[in-house]
Amino acid sequence: MKTFGICRFCNIVSGQYQHADIDRPFCENDAFIAVASIGALIEGWSLIIPKKHQLSMKATYNRPELEDIMDQVIPSIVRKYRPLIAFEHGSNREGSITACGTDHAHLHLVPFSESLIPSLENSNLHWVKCHASEIASRVGNNEYLFYSEVGTKDEWRRHIGYLHILERPISQYFRQLIAARTGHYEASDYRKFPYLETSKQTRKTLVGSEAQIGVEI
Ligand SMILES: [Zn+2]
Ligand SMILES: [Zn+2]
């Protein structure tokens, strides 16, 4: 019998899947995996996850392996779905509500044709333009939110995103914005609304594309 550890993403990295037809990575390299997100309000919603357990992505934004997996996954999502937005809820301690129910770092990639920038500008949070690779030096030990629009893989390299340094933890910020835009007001908590069929379809679609490198179907 499989034994599951405490961290859902460490389990996935070590091949322990709760839902193999969702959790099994559709793309991976030495340092990262790409998986279909559970709780996806939109088909194609994926996560980039570092293999090593860490609280946020900030130490990994400069890694060539991140660029490598983004170069595979972004064109695949764009081709199968549409251009995407990328965002992270960067937490700084185990159990923080800023992390979306997992203490293991991850970057959300969501095929979404609307920009969330107007919502960010109209929010009461202060956003600064920033490249992902600058996040670590800007935030220090604070929690943060990062948002970026990624039409193509070159845009990911060049693109300037929007950074907010959190003064207090905030729960599922971007998911709530997307839930409001898509009329899923009820669904801002993915544990109550896991939408597993959507996630299964995402994996099925992306595993058959060129993003699939070195993974079993
Ligand atoms: Zn972990
Ligand atoms: Zn998240």
For residue 159, the model assigns a pLDDT of 73
Centroid of ligand 2 to alpha carbon of 89 (angstroms): 6
Centroid of ligand 2 to alpha carbon of 114 (angstroms): 19
The whole-angstrom separation of Cα 68 and Cα 60 is: 12
Among all bound ligands, the one having the nearest atom to the CA of 145 is: 2
Please give the class, per CATH, of domain 8-207.
alpha beta
The whole-angstrom separation of Cα 62 and Cα 85 is: 19
Centroid of ligand 2 to alpha carbon of 158 (angstroms): 23
Q: What is the DSSP letter of 187?
A: G
Centroid of ligand 2 to alpha carbon of 149 (angstroms): 16
Centroid of ligand 1 to alpha carbon of 70 (angstroms): 20
What dihedral angle (degrees, nearest 10) is formed by the CA atoms of 82, 72, 8, 167?
-70
3-state secondary structure of 99: coil
CA angle 203, 114, 182 (to 5 degrees): 70
Q: How far is CA 25 from the centre of its chain?
A: 13
Among all bound ligands, the one having the nearest atom to the CA of 46 is: 2
Centroid of ligand 1 to alpha carbon of 118 (angstroms): 33
The whole-angstrom separation of Cα 168 and Cα 97 is: 10
pLDDT in tens, 84-133: 999 999 999 888 888 877 899 999 999 998 999 999 999 999 999 999 99
pLDDT in tens, 34-92: 999 998 889 999 999 999 999 999 999 999 999 999 999 999 999 999 999 999 999 99
Centroid of ligand 2 to alpha carbon of 80 (angstroms): 22
0.85 surpassed by pTM:
yes
The whole-angstrom separation of Cα 138 and Cα 8 is: 29
Centroid of ligand 1 to alpha carbon of 22 (angstroms): 17
pLDDT in tens, 134-151: 999 999 999 999 999 987
Centroid of ligand 2 to alpha carbon of 73 (angstroms): 18
Which one is predicted more confidently, 108 or 193?
108
For residue 30, the model assigns a pLDDT of 97
Centroid of ligand 2 to alpha carbon of 1 (angstroms): 29
